[in-house]
Structure 1
Amino acid sequence: MTTLHKSALIQLILSMAIFGSVGFFSGLSGLSAVELVFIRCVCAMILIGCVWWFGGMYRTEIWKRREIVIVLLCGTTLLLNWVFLFKSFELTSVTVAISLYHLAPVIAMILGSVIFREKLTWLGLGAILLCFAGTLLIVGVGQSGGGFQLTGAIYAIIAAFFYAATMLLGKSIHTLSVYATTFIQMLLSMILLLPFVSWTAYTGLDEMNWTYSIITGVVHTGIVYLLFYNSVRYLPTRMISALVFVDPAVAILLDVLLTGFRPNVWQWGGILLIFAGMYYIVRPQTQK
């Protein structure tokens, strides 16, 4: 492995590990989903915009109307993905939310087989059934405070759906750089959120709340995006698919260690089934 690839590997692992802690920082921010996502958009837009502009990459952009439309659609699904994910963090444990959220590759595979007529193998179908069984175990068995937990779980699944839509739309973006794409998405998300932001929510924040909110925007959004997109171009798809699991692994570990959340035996079984299903979904796509 070359030095360049080692650097890319470290960047990808770091970006996934950092994002794994986003649920805990969101809880410490003191903000609800919409207000926190707005902060994320503003911070990420400024950071990525500065890198894009001062790095001179804006000079080489090729603007095509069709791609701009796709980027705008992609930005809308990304925004909805974030809002529902953070709403799920408010209503259920990070472990449950992040496990269900990572059903996105499964949903993308199902949608891809319908929209793009991509072949769905028996192995892929079996993996989908594993994930479905895991989902039922997580949200339907042994839950305390069932209605509260179930609503959060549903929000996480909706977030996964919009994450999958973002993945599929992103496949059609070839000309614009990731910096231009992300800048447009952040700007659009900020504009769309403006009518829904409760500005009084920011007046009650103390210094620590602001610190956690800004860290979520700058680090968990801006820096994670830069690390992720700077690394994936140098790594094989199989390695990327495997390392994406660092994110939920870190989130679950932190949830158990820091918040004292203890999944029951049914929930652990559901988590393992979902991870097994996701593994077998990425495996046949990446092996020769």
Structure 2
Amino acid sequence: MSFTDRQQGAVMLASGGLLMGTLGVFVEEARLDALTLVFFRCLFGFCALAAYCAWKGFFARRHFTRRTVALAIVSGVLMVTQWVGFFDAIHRTSIAVATVVFHVQPFWVVLIGAALFREPLGIDRLGWIATAFVGLVLASGVAAAGNLQGHSSYLVGVGEALVGSVLYAAVTLIAKSLRDLRPHLLTLAQCLVGLVCLPFIAPLGATHIAPQQWFWLVGMGVLHTGLAYALIYGALPKLTTPVIAVLLFVYPLTAIAVDAIFYHRALSIAQLAGMVLIVVASLGVNLGWPLVSVLRHRVRRQAE
């Protein structure tokens, strides 16, 4: 693999993260309920991804076995539920808080993988996971007394983002089991599930959508589902794990900056410290950094 390929992959992944970091603005400015937002994200995202997959020639009969279709439907239900919860969490908390809380999902992947597939955790991984959840408490703001008094809606939003992170972790594990299915096709299937299911769950207020709101709805589908996912999925095969682990945090960092710039909702010092802990812990888990073992070794040396 040439340096040019790695450089291109890094630019693509960073660009996808920057795009995803602006998603919260589209959610806020559309000024619609979460179910309606997700339905139109699925609609326009499906159209964008279908066009992209057709252009790339991704549609092939071998991709659509019974097992693949069944798992794609399950992942679609999980993903659409996660989108609804995440969008509602943005309404109840803020773009930054919902995004930071959601980004503990890599740790759920590790824990669920250990529980279901008996994957070894190790003392260092457990230490990083514990660090991440300390960061989660700080970043969510629930540790501050002011956010607990008379702010039940805020706590519900934090809970929705947290549950969404668990659901996305499950989707990630399903995607790993579908190695022969291109991720673009899996996302396409997830959008199709949303298109079919959401109208039966709740009435959609399409007749009450103003002309300016359509810009934000189309943008969520074309930019944040079609273009962003095409960039991210196209970049991952070109990059090494350390580079991916670092660049994936372009998304939450952009969301924090966007929330502060556009809505003047800057995170507190404690919340920023929590975000730092989550980032460092994520890198520690993905890159296999020692933590507890080093501390134990130092304690032993001091005891001697």
TM category (shorter chain) comes to over 0.9
Equivalent-residue separation in structure 2 for 1:143 and 1:25 (angstroms) = 28
Cα-to-partner distance string for 1:98-156 (whole Å, 9 max, x where unaligned): 11000100111111111111111211111111122122223222444532221111111
Query: Retained in 2: the 8 A contact 1:74–1:166?
Result: yes
Residue identity opposite 2:181 in structure 1: L
Equivalent-residue separation in structure 2 for 1:198 and 1:141 (angstroms) = 37
Distance 1:10 1:147, change over 3 A: same
What do you get for the CA RMSD once the two structures are aligned?
Answer: 1.7
Equivalent in the alignment of 1:248: 252
Equivalent-residue separation in structure 2 for 1:238 and 1:55 (angstroms) = 28
Equivalent in the alignment of 1:165: 170
Cα-to-partner distance string for 1:7-34 (whole Å, 9 max, x where unaligned): 2211111001100111111100121111
Equivalent-residue separation in structure 1 for 2:61 and 2:242 (angstroms) = 30
Distance 1:63 1:29, change over 3 A: same
Residue identity opposite 1:179 in structure 2: H
Within 5 A, what are the aligned runs for 1:1-288? 1-59=2-60, 61-137=62-138, 138-144=141-147, 146-199=151-204, 201-284=205-288
Equivalent-residue separation in structure 2 for 1:105 and 1:55 (angstroms) = 30
TM-score by length of 1: 0.93
Bigger drift between 268-277 and 245-254 goes to 268-277
Residue identity opposite 2:124 in structure 1: L
Equivalent-residue separation in structure 2 for 1:4 and 1:269 (angstroms) = 35
- Residue 206 of structure 1 and its aligned partner are, at CA, apart by 2.0
Q: SS state of the match for residue 230, structure 1?
A: helix
TM-score by length of 2: 0.88
Q: SS state of the match for residue 265, structure 2?
A: coil
Query: Retained in 1: the 8 A contact 2:93–2:157?
Result: yes
Segments of structure 1 that go 5 or more residues without pairing to the other structure are none
Equivalent-residue separation in structure 2 for 1:67 and 1:60 (angstroms) = 11
Distance 1:56 1:153, change over 3 A: same
Cα-to-partner distance string for 1:74-120 (whole Å, 9 max, x where unaligned): 11111111111101001001111111000100111111111111111
Q: Which has the larger radius of gyration?
A: 2
Runs (4+) of structure 1 moved beyond 4 Å? none
Equivalent-residue separation in structure 2 for 1:119 and 1:96 (angstroms) = 31
Equivalent-residue separation in structure 2 for 1:230 and 1:129 (angstroms) = 32
Identity of aligned residues (%): 27
